[in-house]
Amino acid sequence: MSVAPAPVVILISGRGSNLKAIVDEVRAGRLPAEIRLVISNNPGAEGLRIAQAAGIRTRVIDHREFSERDEFDRALMEAIDQEQPKLVVLAGFMRILGDAFIRHYAGRLMNIHPSLLPAFKGLNTHSRALAAGVSEHGTSVHLVTSDLDGGPVIAQARVRVQPDDSPTTLSARVLEQEHRIYPLAIRWFIEKRLTLLDGQILLDGQRRPEQGFSTDNNTVCP
Ligand code: GAR
């Protein structure tokens, strides 16, 4: 499907590997997005360098310069709205956003989380998954609602947990899947293939198919 590139703003806090995966897909012509601005709350975020190297404008809005969270959120909103984005993408953005912010971007605020939601909301998902002894783990892209890590899921990818996995090895395999499904979910959004029905996301009017493992690559497509 060929659609006009949609203006997008991306928020990061650190490494920026998901940002890079999105930038790479845009540059390869597979994702019709125009990344107008990358904002980081952390001046030292490596992702800022990734954006700059790709010729994308960056801004730092350091949360430590605001005494109230609402003020920080308002500064973010002001910077984002100047770009008139169709979609705001949280790519490893590690600040909790307030209700007013989330309401303002309702239906156009996306996040990626390193677990098979609703399992393992919050932090340290890989070590918690290992401690819980689960046989599969993964990642979820979802729309953001005021329910932390609880908004409707757009795409998920699973990986099998191996007996000798550490949080490092497990997170590396999950991250590979993050880099695959986040650009895909953004593309679906821009192509207007997603709809929300009774709190669930439909793709092309259908519920996401049940997922099973393929034997060769240990993962499954959304
Ligand atoms: C990713 O694993 C992402 O899923 C996670 O932070 C990492 C950022 O990596 N996000 C969350 O935990 C949000 N709750 P990156 O900066 O290399 O994209």
pLDDT in tens, 138-156: 999 999 999 989 999 999 9
pTM: 0.94
The CA distance from 82 to 102, in Å, is: 17
Backbone angles phi, psi at 196, to 5 degrees: -110, 125
Half-sphere exposure of 98 (CA within 13 A, CB side): 11
Any atom of ligand 1 within 6 Å of the Cβ of 183: no
Please tell me the total number of residues recorded for the chain in this structure.
222
Residues serving a catalytic function are 113
Coil, helix or strand at residue 87: strand
The CA distance from 114 to 5, in Å, is: 27
| Alpha-carbon separation of residue 143 from 20, 53, 54, 64, 161 (angstroms) | 20, 28, 26, 26, 26
Half-sphere exposure of 125 (CA within 13 A, CB side): 23
Any atom of ligand 1 within 6 Å of the Cβ of 112: yes
Coil, helix or strand at residue 35: strand
Q: Please check the confidence at residue 1 and state whether its pLDDT lies above 80.
A: no
The CA distance from 193 to 204, in Å, is: 5
Look-up of token digits 């990986």: 159
* Residue 66 CB neighbour total at 10 angstroms: 16
Question: Residues 6 or more apart from 169 whose CB is under 8 A from it?
Answer: 162
Any atom of ligand 1 within 6 Å of the Cβ of 114: yes
Question: Residues 6 or more apart from 64 whose CB is under 8 A from it?
Answer: none
Task: Report which protein residue has its CA nearest ligand 1's atom 8.
Answer: 92
Task: Report which protein residue has its CA nearest ligand 1's atom 9.
Answer: 92
Backbone angles phi, psi at 16, to 5 degrees: 80, 25
Any atom of ligand 1 within 6 Å of the Cβ of 219: no
Pocket perturbation via mutation, ligand 1, pick of 11, 12, 15 by most ligand atoms within 8 A of CB:
15
Any atom of ligand 1 within 6 Å of the Cβ of 17: yes
Closest atom, ligand 1, to C-alpha of 20: 18
DSSP 153-169: EEEEEEEEPPTT--HHH
Any atom of ligand 1 within 6 Å of the Cβ of 121: no
Task: Report which protein residue has its CA nearest ligand 1's atom 6.
Answer: 92
Task: Report which protein residue has its CA nearest ligand 1's atom 5.
Answer: 92
Closest atom, ligand 1, to C-alpha of 13: 16
- pLDDT above 90 covers a percentage of the chain that reads 90
Give the model's confidence band at 215: pLDDT under 50 very low, under 70 low, under 90 confident, else very high. very low
Which residue ranges form the domains of the chain, and what is each CATH number?
1-105 (3.40.50.170), 114-222 (3.40.50.170)
CA of residue 151 relative to chain centroid, distance: 12
pLDDT digits (tens, 9 = 90+) for 172-214: 999 999 999 999 999 999 999 999 999 999 999 998 765 544 3
Q: Please, are residues 36 and 23 in contact by the beta-carbon 8 Å criterion?
A: no
